[in-house]
Chain A
Amino acid sequence: MKKALIFILPFLILPLFLRSDVLYMLGLSFIFVVYCVSWDIVAGYTGQTNLGHTVFIGIGAYTAALLSIKTNVPIIASIILGGIVSTAFGLAIGCVCLRLKEYYLALVTAILPLIFIQLANIYSNVFGGYEGLSIPFSKALPGGVIGNYYISLLFCILCLAFIYAFINSNIGLKLRAIRDDEELAEAVGIDVVKYKLLAFCVSAFFAGMAGALAVHYKLTAGVDFFGIPLMLEIILGVIAGGLGTFYGGIAGGFAIYVAKNWVFMQISSIVNSISPFRISDELILYAVLIVLIVRFPRGLFYELEELLNNKVIKERLK
């Protein structure tokens, strides 16, 4: 608990020093951390390769957007409803998909977001198509950039606290048992399907709320909430930090988001000013991703851990 406070403290005073555009980006990075950690519940703790996490984010986002445009529900209700609708989809999708194993699960979940993107395009009069939807200014989070920053920081801390409690509870233990050996878990009396579904729903709930908050933060909702690039960034964040390590997911997610939306942007704008071809920040992201995976296929976290362990062993041998 004390450790957590030490980590949170610098973020509380950051708004005093930073420019508002950086602050805006940091606020979004907290939401992105929730995407990452909620994905980790299913991928890292339950061991299910879910490549369709953006479905939950997108459903939450579009729910919040449509509620804000068509009705007059308060922001907080629209965020929670985003989570609930997303959970319902998680339940439905989970019932169908979770019987599948490995390759098949990865294939199907990879395709799911694309279905939603197509549907958003076909019914563009409702979902705004490729352009997306704009949210009325009255539905913005209060307090300007600084208010947005603190709200999303608070949201992030609350979500992380709940997720931390969840994965360290008895249920979390059962989920890890399923990840390590599904048949063994079933043999000792764990209802594997039920707990996988539960993990899916919890993951969907937090992702949906995060997506909904992002809509109120950015005041737009578009198909990029469902997009494959977003999914890849989430996976990259968690894998860089270490699957199923909680803190790794937080650190990795934060680092990736800041790298992509700040560092890579700067690099691409510098490159573009001298080269004739337009190099997008995404191009750099994918290149970095490929190098990272090829170089550290087990994630940076485990490689670092091993490096440290080796050092300790070597020192002891001396």
Chain B
Amino acid sequence: MIAEILVLGTVMGGVLALVASGFSLVFGVSRILNFAHGTYFALGAYFSLVFYLLFEKLLAFLPKELILLISAFLAILLTGFTGVLIYLATVKPVRNYEVMVILVTLAVALLIKELLLTFFSDVSISIPPFVTGCIVIFGIPVTYSRIIALVIAALSIATLDVFINKTKLGRETVATAQDVEAAMLVGIDVERVFITVMFISSALAGVAGILYAQIYAVNPMTSLRVLIYAFAIVILGGLGSVRGSILAAFIIGYMQVAVSTLFTSEWAEIVAMLTIIAILVIRPQGIMGVE
């Protein structure tokens, strides 16, 4: 039982870390509370499936794994661009009105949920995994898709870390997160930073969605359910702290798997939500929050 929670929880934590780090990054840099973040998660999975079904016919001479990889790659790019497009069209004009940002992103999330319902109806979809098969760890059969998910999640987050700490654009991002006006004064194109961060954040959520859809399943409602976990994680880790979010993602991941195994998956969401409230009462700034 404990081994199962540890093994499956680590994978879950990795996927959630992808979602939450992007959410946190956007908030840290631009103070935008993006309620549409869960939508990118669902969109990643849906785009990937559509591309796969398309290429399966068009590029039938290629091996299936390659088609899956190509479609996943295109889906991630497309999700990233969708995120930027949504930002430019809806969030940017109202960025100075905090409440309006929340409302407009929430409306976008619900709009896309309705659109997904219109085109794909209310059924869950899964994507075929990159590699099939499984190995046994601590007496638990673990599918390769889960291991790959964890590896990809870790690689993505490591890349994000390198990007933020080692590249020029990354350092501009940190500067913007610390003080937007000061960043502008020293000649940083803040708008470019915002767009970059938006792209990274939605692409990361798209990656998470694709990985999740290979292990479990995604339906139009997922976009809102994922948002709850993202909230729980960023509040636990502290709003705006990417490292805090990654740490918190694993805590919530273990907790989610533990509660789902011991009780039912419905309780996992309630526990996640109660964690949020408990954290806010005890330590409102989270584990490593920013002001």
B169 to chain A, nearest CB (A): 26
B60 interface residue per 8 A CB criterion = no
A107 interface residue per 8 A CB criterion = yes
A307 to chain B, nearest CB (A): 18
B56 interface residue per 8 A CB criterion = no
A229 interface residue per 8 A CB criterion = yes
What per-residue 1/0 map shows which CB atoms of B241-257 lie under 8 Å from chain A? Answer: 00000000000000000
Instruction: Report B-chain residues with C-beta under 8 Å of the C-beta of A289.
Output: 103-104, 107
Partner of A293, one of B103, B228, B270: B103
A287 interface residue per 8 A CB criterion = yes
Q: Contact between B110 and A282 (Cβ–Cβ < 8 Å)?
A: yes
B234 to chain A, nearest CB (A): 8
Instruction: Report B-chain residues with C-beta under 8 Å of the C-beta of A277.
Output: 118-119
Please count the residue pairs between chain A and chain B whose beta carbons lie under 8 angstroms apart in the complex.
Answer: 113
- Interface hit among B2-10, B204-212, B277-285: B277-285
A114 interface residue per 8 A CB criterion = yes
Residues of A within 8 A of B (CB-CB), count: 41
B90 interface residue per 8 A CB criterion = yes
Partner of B107, one of A51, A104, A232, A280: A232
Residues of B within 8 A of A (CB-CB), count: 42
- Residue among B89, B99, B117, B274 with most chain A CB within 10 A: B99
Partner of B104, one of A278, A280, A282, A293: A293
Partner of B111, one of A51, A96, A283: A283
Partner of A108, one of B33, B108, B276: B276
Instruction: Report A-chain residues with C-beta under 8 Å of the C-beta of B180.
Output: none
- Interface hit among A32-40, A117-125, A217-225, A249-257: A117-125
Interface residues of A in 264-288 (CB under 8 A from B): 277-280, 282-283, 286-287
- Residue among A106, A119, A283, A286 with most chain B CB within 10 A: A286
Q: Contact between A115 and B239 (Cβ–Cβ < 8 Å)?
A: no
**CA A168 – CA B56 in complex, angstroms?**
66
Interface residues of B in 84-107 (CB under 8 A from A): 89-90, 93-94, 96-100, 102-104, 106-107
A49 interface residue per 8 A CB criterion = yes
Q: Contact between A297 and B235 (Cβ–Cβ < 8 Å)?
A: no
**CA A228 – CA B103 in complex, angstroms?**
11
Instruction: Report A-chain residues with C-beta under 8 Å of the C-beta of B277.
Output: 96, 108, 111
Partner of A100, one of B93, B231, B280: B280
A87 to chain B, nearest CB (A): 20
Instruction: Report B-chain residues with C-beta under 8 Å of the C-beta of A297.
Output: 93-94, 96-97, 100
Interface residues of B in 1-51 (CB under 8 A from A): 27, 33, 35
Q: Contacts A283-B111, A283-B115 hold; do A100 and B284 have CB atoms under 8 A apart?
A: yes
Q: Contacts A121-B266, A122-B267, A294-B94 hold; do A115 and B273 have CB atoms under 8 A apart?
A: yes
A298 interface residue per 8 A CB criterion = yes
Partner of A96, one of B33, B267, B281: B281
A14 interface residue per 8 A CB criterion = no
A306 interface residue per 8 A CB criterion = no
Q: Contact between A280 and B89 (Cβ–Cβ < 8 Å)?
A: no
Instruction: Report B-chain residues with C-beta under 8 Å of the C-beta of A96.
Output: 277, 280-281
Q: Contact between A232 and B106 (Cβ–Cβ < 8 Å)?
A: yes
B224 interface residue per 8 A CB criterion = yes
Interface residues of B in 257-291 (CB under 8 A from A): 264, 266-267, 269-270, 273-274, 276-277, 280-281, 284
Closest to A298 in B: B97
Q: Contact between B90 and A294 (Cβ–Cβ < 8 Å)?
A: yes
Q: Contact between A118 and B231 (Cβ–Cβ < 8 Å)?
A: no
**CA A294 – CA B274 in complex, angstroms?**
33
A8 to chain B, nearest CB (A): 31
Q: Contact between A102 and B98 (Cβ–Cβ < 8 Å)?
A: yes
**CA A294 – CA B88 in complex, angstroms?**
11
Kindly list 13 other residue pairs between chains A and B, CB separation below 8 angstroms, not including A104-B239, A110-B106: A97-B280, A99-B284, A102-B98, A107-B235, A108-B280, A110-B231, A111-B228, A112-B273, A232-B110, A286-B111, A293-B90, A293-B100, A294-B104
Q: Which residues of B contact A (CB under 8 A)?
A: 27, 33, 35, 89-90, 93-94, 96-100, 102-104, 106-108, 110-111, 114-115, 117-119, 224, 228, 231, 235, 239, 264, 266-267, 269-270, 273-274, 276-277, 280-281, 284
What are 8 inter-chain pairs, A to B, with CB distance below 8 A?
A97-B280, A103-B27, A104-B280, A108-B280, A111-B228, A122-B266, A286-B110, A297-B93
